[in-house]
Amino acid sequence: MTGSSESVMKNLWEYLKSGKDVNIKDEVSGGTLLHLLVENGERFCSPETVQAVYMLVCKDIEIDAQDSVGETGLHKVMRKKGAYRIMMALVITPAINKKILVPEFTFVFFIGI
Query: What is the per-residue pLDDT across 8-66, written as a single tens digit (0 to 9) for each?
Result: 778 888 888 898 998 999 999 999 988 888 888 777 777 777 888 888 888 878 888 99
Segments making up each domain of the chain, as ranges: 5-111
Can you give the chain as a three-state secondary structure string?
CCCCHHHHHHHHHHHHHHCCCCCCCCCCCCCCHHHHHHHCHHHCCCCCCCHHHHHHHHCCCCCCCCCCCCCCHHHHHHCCCCCHHHHHHHHHHHHHHHCCCCHHHHHHHHHCC
* Count of CB atoms situated within 10 Å of the CB of 75: 14
Q: Which CATH topology does 5-111 take?
A: 1.25.40
What number is the average pLDDT over the span 70-93?
85
Asked if pLDDT for residue 108 goes beyond 60, the answer is no
